[in-house]
Amino acid sequence: MVRILVTGCNGLLGNRLIEFLRARTDVELIATSLGPNRHIQLEGYHYVPMDVMSEHQVLEVCGRYRPDAIIHTAALTQVDMAEQQPLRCRRLNVGAVANMVGVCARFGIHLVHLSTDFVFDGLSGPYSETDPVSPISVYGRSKAAAELLLKDSEISWAVVRTILVYGHEVPAGRSNIVSWAVKLLQSGDEVRVVNDQIRMPTFVGDLAQACVEIAMKRERGIFHISGQDEVSIVELVGRVAQHLGLSMEKVQPVSSSDLPGAELRPRRTGFLLDKARSKINYYPIPLDQGLTAVLGPHVH
């Protein structure tokens, strides 16, 4: 029996990890998040409120449960908020990782840490795991700093970088790119969407499975985990519109320079997935299949 602790389990990925791990007979799951448990399934795992920014709480919970692995998903991921609140961003995205490193060193825990394509500047994507980082935002710099913390540590660690994760909305959770696209298309309002930011959107089910595989195998190093389809943000909105039979009439494609905050977002990221394929047999589903999983069958 492998004991896995998940941080940030009220978020999109954390929710999906609960679904996967609670169903496994070879895993004992300890789910943690700030405040009460918002997952609809309350059985088959332990839930413990834990503030990852509190060294005392992290030490107390990990000392009590002694997990074999931690999948650390808790983070401040809103790019604009990170610019406005750089100290909070630093505390959550770097300070909390320092707390994780401390307990992992003390108890011999394997740490799987979630990171992002925003550690790159977007000038030469798609990227491999060995490409040098060059973040252009407070958020990206905080994630790059957390990665460096792990590299400089003596613990057993893996970094999972991912891109634009989408899935079913979680209870009281924030919007993801697909649910955001549905809302703007259904609103009928005029909306401007960037046409020159290129991403490889990641289905949350694929990402969760990859994280579990890496945790169970105690794989080490950096892993790039994303979808396989390269699309611009406006193309992604178009794919959602096509899937649901909705009109793109009110969607105006614009360049990044026309929108505030665009300079904080890399133009073209995307990942080379060769390492994930060879090490953990990672083959993500196509975008159309992911949209069907989230939105239901294609409307003809």
Which residues are known to be catalytic?
A: 139
Residues 6+ apart with CB under 8 A from 235: 195
- Cα–Cα distance measured from residue 169 to residue 171, given in angstroms and rounded to the nearest whole number: 7
For strand 110-116 and strand 191-194, is the pairing parallel, antiparallel, or unpaired? unpaired
How is 195-237 classified by DSSP, letter by letter?
SS-EE--EEHHHHHHHHHHHHHHT--EEEE---S--EEHHHHH
Residue 9: name the closest of 276, 79, 280, 20 by CA.
20
Is residue 219 within 8 A of residue 279, CB to CB? The reply is yes
